[in-house]
């Protein structure tokens, strides 16, 4: 009986150790995201509601940063729709209120708060939400923040007519893969004769204002992938 008791005790101990090892192995881990560069500082930009916004507004929060053209008919509407899904999911978690979406208008010379509000509304966002800041300014201000600060290039391309509209809209940036045309009622009403080609980029900025993750295909970033990056940024250092 003593031998049997010892065997049972040993089996229990082995099972417990195995469970501990498997539990440690199965536990989800999130590798720390590296610091890539400091996000730019700015002040005096204008949001979709005409309010002035400075970069200090986001101190202590995670920022999901993207770059949008209100008349875009390629990936911008897809990015906006994905971010709406992300924010809706975020609202059901303990991270609600700790993350803001910050978009920069890459057409500051041709569009402004009115078009930015309309664009947000078209793709399911409430322009009055404090957690979405769509920012514009003078062309010089936006160039300094977007290109010099975030290293994201954009340029205006004047179309050569209806055929040019389709051809230009099919390219996100010169040399990139063609993008499918996405409905944008705002663009249909405006009938502008130009496009703004820009990099399809999304970034995650930590509460200290440092860029920690860059997605080169913003339109392909799902809400769970983005949520995992935000959690990794907020995870305490070990």
Over residues 54-108, the pLDDT tens digits come to 999 999 999 999 999 999 999 999 999 999 999 999 999 999 899 999 999 999 9
* pLDDT under 50: residue ranges of the chain: 1-29, 160-175, 238
> What CATH number is associated with residue 167?
3.40.30.10
Q: Which helix (H) or strand (E) holds 119?
A: helix 113-122
Residues 107 and 217 in one domain: yes
If asked whether residues 159 and 55 sit together in one domain, one would say yes
Domain range enclosing 76: 37-234
Nearest to 82 by CA among 231, 230, 220: 220
Cα 238 from chain centroid? Answer: 26
Host H or E run for residue 100: strand 99-105
Q: Are residues 118 and 190 in the same domain?
A: yes
> CA–CA separation, 193 vs 208, rounded Å?
41
Residue 19: predicted pLDDT? 36
Same domain, 3 and 80: no
Give residue-wise pLDDT tens across range 11-25. 334 333 333 333 333
Please indicate, yes or no, whether residues 133 and 74 belong to a single structural domain of this protein.
yes
Which pLDDT score, from 0 to 100, does residue 188 have?
94
Check whether residue 21 and residue 86 sit in a common domain: no
CA distance 142 to 195: 17
The pLDDT, as a whole number, for residue 6 is: 37
Same-domain status, 59 and 125: yes
> Is residue 8 located within the same domain as residue 92?
no
């Amino acid at each position: 009986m003593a031998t049997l008791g010892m065997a049972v005790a040993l089996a229990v101990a082995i099972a417990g150790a195995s469970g501990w090892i498997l539990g440690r192995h199965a536990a989800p881990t999130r590798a720390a995201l590296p610091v890539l560069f400091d996000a730019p500082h700015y002040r005096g930009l204008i949001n979709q509601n005409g309010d002035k916004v400075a970069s200090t507004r986001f101190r202590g929060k995670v920022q999901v940063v993207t770059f949008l053209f209100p008349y875009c008919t390629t990936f911008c509407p897809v990015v906006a729709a994905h971010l709406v899904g992300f924010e809706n999911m975020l609202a059901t978690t303990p991270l609600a209120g700790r993350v803001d979406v910050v978009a920069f208008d890459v057409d500051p010379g041709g569009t402004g708060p009115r078009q930015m509000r309309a664009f947000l509304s078209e793709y399911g966002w409430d322009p009055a939400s404090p957690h979405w800041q769509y920012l514009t300014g003078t062309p010089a201000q936006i160039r300094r923040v977007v290109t010099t600060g975030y290293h994201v290039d954009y340029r205006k391309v004047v179309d050569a007519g209806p055929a040019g509209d389709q051809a230009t809209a099919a390219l996100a940036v010169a040399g990139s893969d063609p993008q499918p045309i996405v409905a944008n009622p705002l663009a249909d009403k405006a009938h502008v004769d130009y496009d703004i080609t820009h990099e399809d980029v999304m970034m995650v900025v930590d509460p200290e204002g440092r860029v920690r993750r860059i997605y080169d295909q913003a339109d392909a970033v799902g809400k769970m992938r983005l949520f995992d990056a935000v959690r990794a940024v907020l995870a305490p250092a070990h």
